[in-house]
């Protein structure tokens, strides 16, 4: 049931984002605010780890796990992400490259590139995974944007398997 609701939500947001693409200028204030929220999400996560990660999510927000099952709510997201952020050698970074905002201005989406980095004992940093992400956001009454849905897909290497 939850998967069906999430699929409907994603499809509705995709439809809304595509529909609104022609009515939202590339540099509209709402679009710029949503891109800023996504960039701030990355900065807070880099500074505060799992706490920074959680601050971006709506209380009913979900992220998609490696098995593509939704992980919903702050407690479940914390449990899923805590070990990754607890290791100081791990880092996650991303950069949005597009945003769309619904005509009503209360739903939006961002897309971009992400990378998981690992710092070796000798100080070298290697990319252990990379890909694209798609996020669905909801604008709250106080004007803040919060994540409803976060999903990413891993790049394929030359053999057709995921980059790890």
pLDDT in tens, 7-58: 434 434 443 444 444 344 467 999 999 999 999 999 999 999 999 999 999 9
What are the tens digits of pLDDT across the range 107-128?
Answer: 999 999 999 999 999 999 999 9
100 in a structural domain: yes
The domain total for the chain is 1
Give me the half-sphere count of Cα atoms (radius 13 Å) on the Cβ side of residue 117: 12
The enclosing domain of 114 has a CATH number of 3.10.450.50
162 in a structural domain: no
Share of the chain above pLDDT 70, in %: 80
56 in a structural domain: yes
Model confidence at 156, pLDDT cuts 50, 70, 90, reads confident
What is the chain's mean pLDDT, rounded? 86
The pLDDT value given to residue 31: 97
The pLDDT value given to residue 27: 74
Q: pTM higher than 0.85 for the full model?
A: no
161 in a structural domain: no
DSSP the chain: -HHHHHHHHHHHHHHHHHHHTTTS-TT-HHHHHHHHHHHHHHHHHHHHTHHHHHHTEEEEEEEE-TTS-EEESHHHHHHHHHHHHHSTTEEEEEEEEEEEE-TTSSEEEEEEEEEEEEE-TTS-EEEEEEEEEEEEEEE-TTS-EEEEEEEEEEPB-TTSSBP-
124 in a structural domain: yes
163 in a structural domain: no
Residue 157 predicted with pLDDT over 50: yes
**Domain range enclosing 112:** 2-154
The pLDDT value given to residue 26: 64
| Two tokens, residue 77 | 């997201």
**CA-wise closest residue to 134 among 79, 29, 62, 78:** 62
64 in a structural domain: yes
68 in a structural domain: yes
């Amino acid at each position: 049931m939850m998967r069906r609701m999430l699929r409907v939500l994603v499809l509705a947001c995709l439809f809304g984002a595509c529909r609104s693409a022609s009515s939202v200028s590339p540099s509209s204030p709402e679009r710029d605010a949503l891109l800023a929220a996504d960039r701030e999400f990355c900065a807070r996560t880099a500074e505060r780890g799992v706490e920074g990660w959680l601050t971006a999510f709506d209380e009913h927000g979900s992220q998609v796990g490696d098995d593509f099952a939704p992980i919903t709510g702050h407690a479940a997201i914390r449990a899923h992400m805590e070990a990754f952020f607890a290791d100081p050698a791990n880092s996650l970074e991303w950069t949005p490259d597009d945003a769309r905002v619904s005509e009503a201005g209360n739903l939006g989406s961002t897309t971009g590139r992400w990378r998981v980095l690992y710092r070796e004992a000798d100080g070298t940093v290697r990319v252990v995974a990379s890909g694209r992400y798609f996020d669905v956001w909801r604008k709250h009454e106080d004007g803040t944007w919060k994540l409803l849905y976060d999903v990413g897909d891993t790049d394929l290497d030359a053999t057709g398997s995921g980059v790890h």
